[in-house]
Structure 1
Amino acid sequence: MTRRSVLRAGLVTGAAAGAAPLLSGCFGFDTTGGGGGKLVFLSSQFIAVEEAQRFRSVLRKAAPGASFVPAEPSAFATRVSTEVESGRVGTGVIGALYGELAQFAPDRLEDLSDVAARLSGNGYTRDMLELARFGTDKTYFIPWMQATYILAVNKKALEHLPPGADVNNLTYDQFLAWAKEARAKNGRPVFGLPGGPKGLLHRFVQGHLYPSFTGGQITTFRSDDAVRMWEYVRELWTYMVPASTTFEFMQEPLTSGQVQVAWDHVARLAGAPAAAPNDYLMVPSPAGPKGRGYMSVLAGLAIPKGAPRRSEGKKLIEALSRPEVQLDVLRQNAFFPAVKTPIPRDLPIGVRLEARAVDLQQRHGLLALPPARLGTQDGEMSAAFRNTFTSIVLDGDDIRATLGKQAKVIQELLDGARAPCWRPDPDSGGRTCRVA
């Protein structure tokens, strides 16, 4: 199978997984609108079996009366919509990314202003609280946890850094020069990206490259700056490990030595330093002409409209909002707390290294969010960005023609969902975002 066909297979696999009603766990609870069984906590996060098991260990201590049910994002959206619209809600609490919750707000979510008032001392940022209100004067979700994407570096690669480059303050030009020099000195590429079937390469394009080079994501999709960005990506890819089209969790090729420098989600890098903690650094993503674009993943806790046992649901949300519980999630699954709390020293080495990199990136970065209010079409938006990468970088197609073609696809998705713009694109005032 060629590199191109592997990446294309990933798109098909990802679409199929997203389309199936894949709910892990037929636990015997009542899904018809209340009654017996445990309180159902449905989540689009921690879908991987190992992550789900680790989170259940956290949940058993924090709220033993809840049953955790992870679901693929499209199945999550379908289930919540179906239950609320039918008036037969069996789910007590939902946990999902901001963009996934936005599709239900405000009409299909319960008002959680009373919970927010009780948790007002938790130190949530102004941005988080603003997002939780969805432009209203009420709160519809409680910030749960956050994550981002950074670089993991085996210290062997540091000797190939360009002269004068600071690994904690890289530009994309320096990143390219570093990858080029590392390949020359090693006799093979040693930089990698997660381009496999379940890899997050599209987030690199959406949340890091586009903001860094163009200042936007959708409104700058086919701009002159975007053309220059894609010219850069074409060159950068020639210095990536060829197996990058198969990588999903970059901690694995890092651990095996196949890769020395990798970009990925913090949860997919945290395990790399475990066997050799002194061999690794975690550093911020590079900066481009428009700044250090980075994608912040904010997850929230909400209650669907008409949910059963709402008082229990609110207690579950408050339990998961305790600092010690959020730190336990950090230890287990490398998602950082949404509450303000000191990061302890007894964390796994990978998480401790990440904490510093995340702090540096947030202090000196241009915030980007994942797509919002797309509902079950979120996977199609991801596919559009991955298809753009495949066409331009792997197939060598004309950049402007490809951007024009994919811009039409993206606009159709936005029109179908009536989705307004999200950061870093300018506020569209509630109107549908326009590709430019």
Structure 2
Amino acid sequence: MAAISRRVVLRAGLTMGAGGVLSACGGFGTTGGDGKLVFLSSQFNAVQEGQRFRTILARAAPETSFVAAEPAAFAARVTAEVQARKVTAGVVGALYGELAQFAPGQLEDLSGLASRLSGGGYTKDMLELAKFGTDKTYFIPWMQATYIVAVNKKALAHLPPGADVDKLTYDQFLAWAKEARAKNGRPVFGLPGGPKGLLHRFIQGYLYPSFTGGQITTFRSDEAVGMWEYMRELWKYMVPASTTFEFMQEPLASGQVQVAWDHVARLAGAPASAPNDFVMVPAPSGPKGLGYMSVLAGLAIPKGAPRQEDGKKLIEALSKPDVQLDVLRQNAFFPAVKTQIPNDLPVGVRLEAGAVDSQQKEGLLALAPARLGTRDGEMSAAFRNTFTSIVLDKEDIRRTLDKQAKVIQQLLDAAKAPCWRPDPDSGGKTCRVG
């Protein structure tokens, strides 16, 4: 396979992504009592991902102690330490939306470091995002990712007539799921609906944009009602254990599921033992287009952090192309720096690269909720609760949307959070649920 250019990985629009991924186990772990610089991250909370990243870090920056925390706990710790002026974390790594809540007042100015790293080939959008509307840089882009669909080739035999698996509509996706169940005698499609699964991102970043063109401002629109009717029907053809699935690569690898949507890092392991049995494809399109969600993580230094020169050295180490390629190989997060994607990638990551590129070309970018701080989890819960009420409990769609709209608006009001894509720019004013 020819080397894949970085443009395949994630285009400029993708760099604006936000939203928690790979959140699994909580707890802060070590606090740096061993004398090492503390790197606090909202990413790589899952045990295996964390272990693999620590191995990378041990080579790239051995005098660093990696501490993983779920997004809400991460936000609470950074806020508390900065406000108390007792900062223990030398560097923080988090998603754009998570860092946005701290900028600019609670993050150090990294303009000088950004200048030194300017040869890294970061996109213009990345560099603008890192400024948070100011003339200074507050984070250095770290890594990026998105969500796609993994397919066992056995399922391709059940595609609707004339359907192109790389350019599916949601109607075709539903028809495919129906036919696959009929021919297999059981459902073979799955979604990550478990407690730590990312089903809420499917709803926020894929269904809502594809069916309504928005996320918050269209939350209870007529189009949203139609979308939820669709989701009710689609769920009938999901493997019943979808309510327990967290990482879809596992049921895919076991054969319990043949078609699944999930985060690229949670699909990459599926083809490991049977590399010729899988393809990775873009998400389907709806009436408003191919809605997709993307993720950008950045590296920053909290205001008043200790050992800031050491912190900058750590950021420089993590910004090297070979280190970012190691992260791609091990944890399926793509580089933020400009670099050739090599041929020796794990098969799952290699398959994902083409699907990611195709999705970007025609997709309608959606971002996960941003600037919610410690209440980010409550927003995710609101979307999951909406799903539970409408799809699992069969409650009235309109009444459920009206009820959850109030919950979402309260969260937005408390955080004074402006709208994020694909909703229209609210001009800095609090986003309003529509």
Q: TM-score range by the shorter chain?
A: over 0.9
- Partners of 1:290 and 1:21 lie apart in 2 by 37
Corresponding position: 1:209 with 2:207: yes
TM-score by length of 2: 0.93
Tell me if 1:313 matches 2:307. Answer: no
2:22 counterpart of 1:24:
no
Counterpart residue number, 1:10: none
Deviations 1:12-71 (A, max 9, x none): xx9xx99x9721335524xxxxxxx11110000001111111001111111112111111
Q: How does 1:133-152 map to 2 (within 5 A)?
A: 133-152=131-150
SS in 1 for 2:162: coil
* Alignment check: 8 A CA contact 2:193 2:199 kept: yes
Q: Do the aligned partners of 2:31 and 2:38 also contact (CA within 8 Å) in 1?
A: no
Counterpart in the other structure of 2:363: 365
Q: What does 1:102-141 correspond to in 2, within 5 Å?
A: 102-141=100-139
1:336 counterpart letter in structure 2: F
Distance (whole Å) between structure 2 residues aligned to residue 180 and residue 403 of structure 1: 27
Count of residue correspondences = 413
Equivalent residue number for residue 3 of structure 1:
none
Q: Superposition RMSD on alpha carbons, in Å?
A: 1.4
Alignment of structure 1 residues 336-355 onto 2, 5 Å: 336-355=334-353
SS at 2:425's partner residue? coil
Pairwise CA distance, 1:129 = 1.8
1:415 equivalent to 2:413? Answer: yes
Partner Cα distance (2:340, 2:26) in 1: 39
Question: What is the TM-score with the length of structure 1 in the denominator?
Answer: 0.93
The correspondence of residues 23-422 of structure 1 with structure 2, limited to 5 A, is 23-29=28-34, 37-422=35-420
- What SS is found at the alignment partner of 1:168? coil
Structure 1 SS opposite 2:286: coil
Offset of 1:196 from its aligned partner? 0.6
Provide, for residues 62-98 of structure 1, a one-character-per-residue CA deviation record: whole Å limited to 9, x for no partner: 1112111111111111110111000111110000011
Taking the aligned partners of 1:197 and 1:284, their CA distance within structure 2 comes to 25
Q: Secondary structure of 2:136's match? A: coil
Distance between the aligned counterparts of 1:294 and 1:230, measured in 2? 17
Distance 2:61 2:73 in 1: 25
Q: Which runs of 5+ in 2 are unaligned?
A: 1-19
Instruction: Look up the SS of the partner of 1:296 in the other structure.
Output: strand
1:421, 1:48 → 2: CA distance?
Answer: 30
CA distance in 1, matches of 2:136, 2:223: 39
Structure 2 CA distance for aligned equivalents of residues 183 and 378 of structure 1: 36
Q: Which moved more, 1:324-333 or 1:363-372?
A: 363-372
Distance in 1 separating the partners of 2:193 and 2:339: 34
CA distance in 2, matches of 1:169, 1:341: 28
Q: Which amino acid aligns with 2:43?
A: Q
- Between the aligned residues of both structures, percent identity stands at 81
403-412 or 364-373, larger mean C-alpha shift: 364-373
Q: Which whole-Å CA distance do the structure 2 matches of 1:166 and 1:114 have between them?
A: 48
Would you identify which runs of 4 or more consecutive aligned residues in structure 1 move more than 4 Å?
none
Q: Deviations over 1:120-160 (max 9, x none)?
A: 22222222222211111111111100111100000000011
> What per-residue deviation string (whole Å, max 9, x for no partner) do you get for residues 367-393 of structure 1?
111111101100000000000000011
Cα deviation for residue 262 of structure 1 reads: 0.4
Counting only pairs closer than 5 Å after superposition, residues 6-25 of structure 1 correspond to structure 2 as 22-25=27-30
d(CA) in 1 for partners of 2:129 and 2:171? Answer: 34
Between the aligned partners of 2:111 and 2:354, the Cα distance in structure 1 is 33
**Aligned residue number for residue 427 of structure 2:** 429
Q: Partners of 1:375 and 1:383 in 2: how far apart?
A: 14
Distance across 2 between alignment mates of 1:149 and 1:433: 25
